[in-house]
Amino acid sequence: MFAAGEMRHERFQAFSLISQPRSDSRLLADILAGEGIASDARVGVSGWKYFTEGEHPDPAHAIDAPSFIADTLRSLAGYEAVTNATAMFMSPRDGLRTIADADDIALFEHANSVVSQSVRAMIFAMRDGISDFDVVKAAGLNGMALGCHPTFCTGETAALGLAGPSGAILRRGQPLSFNLCVWRANCCRAGWLARDAGDLPHAAQDYVETFAGPYVQALDRWFSMMRPGVPGGDVKAEMDRLLPFERFGVFLNPGHLIDTDEWVSSPIFEGSDVPLRSGHVMQVDIIPSSPVYFSTRMEDTIVIADAALRAEVQARHPDVHDRIVARAAFMRDVMGFDVPDTMLPLSDMAGIAPPFFFSPEKLIALG
């Protein structure tokens, strides 16, 4: 609309860098008043977050925007008239940014294919004595816009979770978690820098049987529930049952929505009656943690799609459709996962999570 000249616009220099010229702009109050914001107006402000009564005593008026904008709007329209409208875009129930169509899915699939291939290249580059910088170089990042910074946590940074590459040297017997994220895709893996269980600390040598294996079994159930209409609270309850907190320490929502930002919102939380919807683009983001076993991870992106949306993808983007079908078949027929027709895997790493990064060909499959 802006490029077509259909949207009014005006330069407001205070949005620019500190110490840049300010002399050619009207005051923000004058600009907003000129657009009709006055005492009889109702104003919705959309930022990054909306709030609930459990977070704020007056969530409707908790504005997630800079104070100089919110205060100016309130001075023109009155405090009561200015409310938080972020849910209109971000709510997992009906947010405008939380449903993808066939063309969106093609963009998501491209981003996930690129990122998952980079993650695969990183894993196969790992060896004892290499630096994390050299592992990240193997990703061959192509300049696509990042959704968050790449993480690489091992050695002294293993427990930090969100630390980036630092020049650390990979050593056999250390834990590792890492991710790559571009707009519409995040691929993350966690496990051990090891060839087999014998390289792990003695207390963790039953890692696959006791920790990583049950995690993969829980993911099997998660995949099976990715169907339109399933309440998000049911998914949370199943993950709590299969991955009890005292053993697996899962703190975050077991799955969330993704777009150009890595975390939009999630229909999956305790007691949620928000149904999974056709067009929901979900991260398989279930993050266990343990003082003994560290973690394991199979984070990729999937789309929930009913028959109509699947048919639209096939008609508009047949190559995308064929790749999705091939991934789903691999997950079912080779890895043994219960993948319903309504779950569309977008990542080339879907179903693949090597527990030992120095033996990337060793995978956990379900019988």
Same domain, 172 and 311: yes
The answer to the question of residue 238 being in a domain is yes
Contact 139, 205 (CB under 8 A): no
Mean pLDDT by 10 residues, the chain (367 residues): 87 95 95 96 96 95 96 98 98 97 98 98 98 97 94 94 94 98 98 98 98 98 98 98 98 97 97 98 98 98 98 98 98 98 98 97 95
pLDDT at position 81, please? 98
pLDDT at position 182, please? 97
The answer to the question of residue 287 being in a domain is yes
Same domain, 216 and 334: yes
The answer to the question of residue 360 being in a domain is no
**Pairwise CA distance, residues 194 & 354, whole Å:** 10
Token readout for 139 is: 């990703």
pLDDT at position 1, please? 78
Q: Which of 319, 340, 333 is nearest to 106 (CA)?
A: 319
Q: What are the distances in angstroms from CA 194 to CA 129, 190, 318? A: 12, 12, 40
**Pairwise CA distance, residues 359 & 236, whole Å:** 32
Domain at 337, CATH number: 3.90.230.10
Domain boundary among 90, 114, 144: 90
pLDDT at position 315, please? 98
Domain boundary among 52, 67, 90: 90
Same domain, 138 and 271: yes
Same domain, 50 and 179: no
Token readout for 177 is: 């978690």
pLDDT at position 195, please? 98
Same domain, 79 and 224: no
Same domain, 39 and 168: no
The answer to the question of residue 125 being in a domain is yes
Domain count across the chain: 2
Residue 161 structural domain:
102-345
Same domain, 279 and 190: yes
The DSSP letter of residue 264 is -
151-154 and 82-84: which strand pairing?
A: unpaired
Global confidence as pTM: 0.95
Same domain, 60 and 125: no
Same domain, 84 and 194: no
**Pairwise CA distance, residues 45 & 50, whole Å:** 10
Q: Which amino acid is at 80?
A: E
Phi, psi for residue 241 in degrees, rounded to 5: -70, -45
**Pairwise CA distance, residues 215 & 295, whole Å:** 10
The answer to the question of residue 56 being in a domain is yes
Contact 298, 335 (CB under 8 A): no
Same domain, 144 and 245: yes
The answer to the question of residue 207 being in a domain is yes
